[in-house]
Structure 1
Amino acid sequence: MIHLTKIIAAILVLLAIALGGYAWVLSRQPVPPPPVASTPAAGNPSKTQAPTFAVVVTAKPVLAGHPITIDALRVEQLPINPSGAFKDTAPLVGRVPVFDLGEGTPLLEGQLASGLAMRVEEGERAVAVKADEIMGVGNKVQPGDFVDVFVILKSDGKDVDRSQARLLLPRKRVLAFGNASVDGLPSKSVDGNGNPAAQQQQRNDAPRTAVLAVPVADINRLSLGESAGRLLLALRNPLDTTLPDPTLLAALPAALQPPPSKRGEQPRPPLEGLDSAQGGLTTIDLVTGGTAAGRRLAAENRANPVPTTRSSGNGVRSGFEVEMIRGDKSETLRY
C-alpha cells in the first residue's frame, strides 16, 4: 500500500514539472498584435459613399406653362433629399411648371402650378363678381356649388315697365366665395405687417366676391350684366343638369364684326369661343336681345322720351321736364 502511494506521488510530481515547463514555454512566445479592422477593397467604393435618395429630375429642358411629359422625367439617386421632391414620375405627368427648368433639375412641388387656376377647365375662365348677402343666397353659397346667374336691368324711375330680369348664365360652378375656395387653400390676404389677427378677422367678414367658372365666350355677357344691372345667384341642386334651349333666342351679335367674305370664298362661320369674346358685346344688344326691332324701339325711346310735368309748391305747374339719356349719361331739360 505504501509502495503504491509513493508511485502516485511520483507521477503527480512529474506532471507538475511538465505543466510548469509548458507554462514557461508559452510565456516566452511573443504577444500577437491586436486585430486590425478590415478595409474595403479599392474596387468597391459604394460602401464608403453617403446614403443616396431616389429623386425625380428633368431628363430634358421643360418650358414654363407646358405640361410635363413622361419622357421629360427620370429618377436619379442623389445624396440629398430636397423638401417637396418626388420619388415617382407618375404624379408629375401632366403637371405644369411655373418657370423654365433645365435638364437634371430636381422637380419640387413649389415649382409646379397649383391653387385655384388648376380647378379651371379648358375653355373656362375664373371671373370674380361682387357679392353680398342677398346676391349670395344669404351667404349660403359654398365653393363647388352650381348656381344660375340672373341679371336685373333697371330702367329709369319713370319707365319702370322697361326694367327686366332674366337668366343670364345657367349652371355655373362656384370656384370661390369670400375667402373659401375649392382648392382648400387659406387666404393669403394680410395687412401691411402680415398680422395673423388680421387674417382671422378677414375670415370672419362677410364675403364680398364670388368667383365663377365661366366659358370664355360668356365673360362679355357677365361683365356687361354686372356693370349695367345687378346680378343675382340662384343656388341649384348639383344633380340638376337642365339647361335652357339656346336655339329659342337669337344669338347676340358681336360688337366687332369680321370683314365680309370675298367673292368666291366660303361664308365665315359664326364666332365662337375666344373669337366670340374678342368680338365683344354691346350693352344695347344685351338689353334688347340684339334684334333689329329691339334696337329700333330703344332708339325711339331715346329720341322721344315721355314728357312729365311737375307742380311748384303753390300747386301751379312749373312746366315740362324731359330727361335725355345718351348711353350712360342722363340730362334733364325743362321748358
Structure 2
Amino acid sequence: MINLSKILAAILVLLAIALGVYAWILSRQPPVPAAVATNTANAPVKTQQALTYPIVVAAKSLPAGLAIPADALRVERLTINPVGAFQDVTLATGRVPVLDLAEGTPVIENQLVSGLALRLGEGERAVAIKADEVMGVGNKIQPGDFVDVFITFKSDGKEVDRSQARLLLARKRVLAFGSVSVDALPSKSPDKAAAQQAQRNEQARTAVLAVPVEEVNRLTIGDASGRLMLALRNPTDLSEPDPKLFAELPTALQPSTKAGEPRRAPLEGLDRAQAGLTAADLVTGGKGPGVRPQTAEVHTTAAGAPRASGPARGGLQVEVIRGERSETVSY
C-alpha cells in the first residue's frame, strides 16, 4: 500500500516537471500568432484600396466639335468609376465632345454631343417651321414620320383664280413635332407614356424637318412668303419627283466667272445654299417679275389680216408678305 502511494507521488512529480518544461518552452517562442492575426485584419483594407475600374480616357487632347478618332482613346484602370463613363473604346469613337478634353481625362457621356444633332445625316440640317392643327395633318404627325411639303401662293386683287399650289419638298423626315422629338427615349412606364401622350395632344406650334442644306432656302422663303402644308406619307413610299423635268431655279448670287475658264458645274450643297434664292424666282419658277409677256387678243379685220389689239390682261400677280411689308410680284 505504501509502495503504491510512493509510485503515484513520483508520477505526479514527473508530470508537474514535464508541464513546467513545456510552459518554459512556450514562453521562449516569439508571438507569431499575433502578427498573423494583424496581417489578416489588414488584408481586406489593402484589397479594397487596390480595387480599380477600366475607364476610357483621352490618349491625347480632344478639341471640341471634332469627331474622336479611335487612336485618340485608350482604356486605363482607375480607382474611380464616374457616372456615364465608357469601358469600351468603340462606344466613344466617332462621338463629338462639346468641350476640349485634356489628355488622360475620362470620357463621359454628358461631355459629348447628343440630341437631334445626332439624328441628322451628312449634308442635312434641322429646320423648324410654324405648325398648327391643319398644317400638321390634324396633329397626327409624329417624330420619325415622312412628309411632303406643299406650298400655296395666293394671288391678290381679282385674280384669285390664278393662285398656285405645288409640291415644294418631297419625302422629308420629321425630327420633332411640338414638344415631342425623335431623340426622346422610349419608356414603358405608364406615367411617362401618359405624359408623352399628353404632349402629343397639345397644340403643336413648330415642326422640325431634316432638310438637305441646298433645299433650306426653298423652305425658309416658302414659309415666309406662302402657306405651307404637310402631307403625311407612308415611309415605304420612296417616290420623288424627277428634277430633270423642271428648269433649275436661278440663284440670288451668281458664281464668279473668268474669261477662258471652262463652264462651271452646277452649284450643289453648301455652295448652292450660299448662292441663295429669291422669293420672286421661287414664285415664278425662275422667270422673275415682268419677264413673262402679257397676253394679247387677236382680232381679224375685214380684209382677213390679223391685228393685235394690245394687252388684254396682265400676267399672274402674287402678293409676297415679308413681316410688315407687302409686295406684289407680277409675272
| Residue 64 (structure 1) shift | 1.0
The worse-fitting range, judged by mean Cα deviation, of 29-38 and 116-125 is: 29-38
| Residue 118 (structure 1) shift | 0.8
CA contact (8 A) 1:55 1:76 kept: yes
Which residue number in structure 1 is paired with residue 63 of structure 2?
Answer: 63
| Residue 211 (structure 1) shift | 0.1
Q: Which one of 261, 267, 287 corresponds to residue 263 of structure 2?
A: 267
Matches within 5 A, 1:286-305: 286-291=282-287, 295-297=290-292
1:278 and 2:274 matched = yes
| Residue 157 (structure 1) shift | 4.4
What whole-Å deviation, never above 9, does each CA across 1:246-290 have from its counterpart, x for those lacking one? 11110100011113x333211111111111111111111111111
| Residue 205 (structure 1) shift | 3.2
Gaps of 5+ in 2: 40-45, 187-195, 296-310
Taking structure 1 as reference, are residues 82 and 264 closer, same or farther at Cα in structure 2, changes over 3 Å only?
same
Which residue number in structure 2 is paired with residue 213 of structure 1?
Answer: 210
Q: Distance in 1 between matches of 2:15 and 2:172?
A: 105
Taking structure 1 as reference, are residues 169 and 83 closer, same or farther at Cα in structure 2, changes over 3 Å only?
same
Taking structure 1 as reference, are residues 160 and 280 closer, same or farther at Cα in structure 2, changes over 3 Å only?
same
Taking structure 1 as reference, are residues 103 and 326 closer, same or farther at Cα in structure 2, changes over 3 Å only?
closer
Which residue number in structure 2 is paired with residue 184 of structure 1?
Answer: 184
The one-letter code matched in structure 1 to 2:152 is: I
What whole-Å deviation, never above 9, does each CA across 1:31-90 have from its counterpart, x for those lacking one? 3554343588xxxxx869542222111111111111101110111122222222111211
The one-letter code matched in structure 2 to 1:226 is: D
The one-letter code matched in structure 2 to 1:177 is: F
Instruction: Tell me the C-alpha RMSD between the 2 structures.
Output: 3.3
The worse-fitting range, judged by mean Cα deviation, of 139-148 and 103-112 is: 103-112
Q: Which one of 1, 13, 20 corresponds to residue 16 of structure 2?
A: 20
What whole-Å deviation, never above 9, does each CA across 1:221-250 have from its counterpart, x for those lacking one? 111111111100000000000111111110
| Residue 218 (structure 1) shift | 0.6
The worse-fitting range, judged by mean Cα deviation, of 169-178 and 265-274 is: 265-274
Matches within 5 A, 1:86-235: 86-184=86-184, 205-235=202-232
CA contact (8 A) 1:148 1:234 kept: yes
| Residue 141 (structure 1) shift | 0.3
TM-score by length of 2: 0.77
Identity of aligned residues (%): 57
1 or 2 for the larger relative contact order (CA 8 Å, sep ≥6)?
A: 2
Which residue number in structure 2 is paired with residue 37 of structure 1?
Answer: 35
1:52 and 2:32 matched = no
Q: Distance in 1 between matches of 2:313 and 2:113?
A: 57
Taking structure 1 as reference, are residues 306 and 329 closer, same or farther at Cα in structure 2, changes over 3 Å only?
farther
TM-score by length of 1: 0.76
SS of residue matched to 1:254:
coil
SS of residue matched to 2:125:
strand
SS of residue matched to 2:159:
helix
CA contact (8 A) 2:64 2:96 kept: yes
Taking structure 1 as reference, are residues 265 and 133 closer, same or farther at Cα in structure 2, changes over 3 Å only?
same
